[in-house]
Amino acid sequence: MARTDSHIYDTFIVGAGISGLAAAIKLRETGYDNFRIIEKADRVGGTWRENTYPGCGCDVPSSLYSYSFAPSSKWSHLFAKQPEILNYLEEVSDHYGITPLIEFNNALDEAAWDEDRHLWRLDTTNGQYLARSVVFATGPITEPQTPPIPGLETFKGEMFHSATWNHDYDLTGKRVAVIGTGASAIQFVPQIQPKVKELHVFQRTPPWVLPKPDMPLGETSKQAIDRFPVIQRTWRKAVAGSLSVINFGLRNPVAMKPVSVAAKQLLRLQIRDPELRKAVTPNFLLGCKRILFANDYYPALQADNTSLIPSGLVEVDGNTVVGANGERREVDVIIWGTGFDVAHPPIGNKVVNENGERLADLWKNSSPEAYLGTSIENTPNAFLILGPNVLVYDSFIRLAEAQLDYIIDGLWKMKEKRVSKLKIKPSVLSKHNRKVQKNLQSTVFNSGGCSSYYLDQNGRNFAAWPWSLSALKRRLNVFRLKDYDVVYGEKAEVRPFKSAHQANVAHAVH
Ligand SMILES: Cc1cc2nc3c(=O)[nH]c(=O)nc-3n(C[C@H](O)[C@H](O)[C@H](O)COP(=O)(O)OP(=O)(O)OC[C@H]3O[C@@H](n4cnc5c(N)ncnc54)[C@H](O)[C@@H]3O)c2cc1C
């Protein structure tokens, strides 16, 4: 039954995915205890709880796609699959004592700023809460996207999105249309191809697919990693180093040209049929869309039961799916591999700022803007994790951790300096975003000749950070109160020990 919690929390974390868990762990490690964390689902994990499609896994090596403070020696492969990642997150949550703190099955309905009391009023499915600040850890890639296709209502077969996979539906012997060839599709296509009767892959834009340097980690390797953590640390550093080289290329498209040529040569070796090769060869620079890695995708496309339709789906006529090039296929199942609506994060529907405006209304005709992916205009005492323009080609976990150092420093400064309200100065926000947009122009995301999910409907890049991860980390190292309009008023409290960004919380998760 809905209830009102009259306690005033210092902060309120919404979401218990990778970001929310890290927020709770890091806050507690700094001695910041007066917080609440809610999660709308019945377990932690976010992305890795929701996406269960066959072959789902990370495309950044697990040594880097794991918390800096919780290395694991249990990964079965260099790139872990979804069940292992979910298991890892549950173990970390238990290990740090966060699981019992989380209110599961509790969804935020509305967060509204109360200007009279300088508090957030949080209406959730379980009741109402009050908090001095809010951390929105509600995820950057959550809303499955399916295009509006004329005639879809006439389709009588089975239909689902990769993010809501219907495991009860047996694909064996079925005629399947896969719509889209993005990051999820290239993982599940090779898994379903051997069991289906016919596989028709609709490809609007061919992605760059490079070989995945994956391999299993046997017991001996795991034991060695467990006994000598230095191996894991060195490997993590090496992976981070190689990703920073890729990032350099993304910022300097000239460097990407020879890599694109080499990748085309590789395609020659991987695909023998010249017609198919031509159809899957991208016509934009490598890196303009997210670079994909797979060893089994091209073999699956070349299987006898697979046909590639090199155009998007434009019409459904009963059980016939029709491509933009006129090709028609009769199918039993449509699987949407059409990705996510990242330009309109659902949290926008839930947040009402100090002017009484719903963020989704402000973002309706464009994409979100924030300062360092965190602080939103006219939205005081609120912090977004993995918000706009912080994406670097790296592990999202590292990005979230870097942002958390900033956020926790800010939360502590609010306590120490008796801040009852702070909001990003409009001048700081607009100067920052002008600079971000200007510098993005020359990156491969904006100039590589593709239209990617980094760009909103107006062509504005709302996702990427135009500089290096080190530069982002430097900017996030210290929360500068002078960037914010600040109102003082609350009782001061002093940090019990080291500042947030100095707190070193390394525990191996075995
Ligand atoms: C298939 C897939 C593969 C990916 N692979 C990689 C990869 O290899 N490398 C990489 O760096 N990134 C990858 N990503 C990106 C991935 O989203 C991030 O790495 C990371 O999982 C984001 O974590 P998060 O906690 O910020 O968000 P999420 O994992 O989305 O978690 C958000 C949580 O908030 C909860 N929540 C949302 N709204 C509410 C509400 N109103 N009330 C209460 N709770 C709420 C959700 O239920 C969820 O548990 C991948 C994404 C997908 C979809």
Q: What is the pLDDT of residues 134-167, one digit of tens each?
A: 999 999 999 999 999 999 999 999 999 999 999 9
Check whether residue 293 and residue 353 sit in a common domain. Answer: no
Ligand 1 midpoint to CA 309 (Å): 31
Q: Which residues of the chain have pLDDT under 50?
A: 499-504, 510
- Residue 451: both structure tokens together: 């239209």
Question: How far apart are alpha carbons 7 and 115 in whole angstroms?
Answer: 18
Number of separate helices (H) and strands (E) present in the chain? 14, 20
Question: How far apart are alpha carbons 112 and 126 in whole angstroms?
Answer: 16
Task: Please say whether the beta carbons of 186 and 282 come within 8 A.
Answer: no
Q: What is the CATH number of the domain that holds 310?
A: 3.50.50.60
Q: How many domains does the chain have?
A: 2
User: Which is nearest to 405 in space by CA: 19, 9, 1?
Assistant: 19
Question: Looking at this protein, which amino acid is placed at residue 395?
Answer: S
Task: Please say whether the beta carbons of 134 and 382 come within 8 A.
Answer: yes
H helices within 185-304, ranges in order?
Answer: 185-192, 219-227, 229-251, 253-270, 274-280, 297-301
- Domain range for residue 497? 3-143+346-502
pLDDT of res. 500: 45
Shortest-distance Cα residue to atom 27 of ligand 1: 139
Residue of 141, 338, 351 to mutate, ligand 1, most atoms within 8 A of C-beta? 141
Which is the closest atom of ligand 1 to the Cα of 187? 1
pLDDT of res. 273: 95
CA 66 from centre of chain: 14
Residue of 47, 103, 292, 393 to mutate, ligand 1, most atoms within 8 A of C-beta? 47
Shortest-distance Cα residue to atom 48 of ligand 1: 46
Count CA atoms closer than 13 A to 138's CA, side-chain side. 26
Check whether residue 298 and residue 177 sit in a common domain. Answer: yes
Count CA atoms closer than 13 A to 225's CA, side-chain side. 24
Check whether residue 58 and residue 128 sit in a common domain. Answer: yes
Question: How far apart are alpha carbons 462 and 154 in whole angstroms?
Answer: 36
pLDDT of res. 452: 83
Domain assignment present for 424: yes
User: Which H helix or E strand runs over 401?
Assistant: helix 396-416
pLDDT of res. 218: 94
Task: Please say whether the beta carbons of 298 and 276 come within 8 A.
Answer: no
Check whether residue 300 and residue 369 sit in a common domain. Answer: no
pLDDT of res. 4: 78
Check whether residue 417 and residue 318 sit in a common domain. Answer: no
- Within 6 A (CB) of ligand 1 lie 14-20, 38-41, 46-47, 51, 56, 58-60, 65, 107-108, 137-142, 184, 350, 385-386, 395-396, 400
Ligand 1 midpoint to CA 164 (Å): 14
Check whether residue 280 and residue 315 sit in a common domain. Answer: yes
pLDDT of res. 182: 96
* pTM for this prediction: 0.95
Question: How far apart are alpha carbons 151 and 316 in whole angstroms?
Answer: 5
pLDDT of res. 30: 96
End position of a domain, from candidates 317, 336, 355: 336
Quote helix, strand, coil % in the chain, to nearest 5.
Answer: 35, 20, 45
pLDDT of res. 501: 44
Q: E strands, 83-157, where? A: 102-103, 108-114, 119-124, 127-136
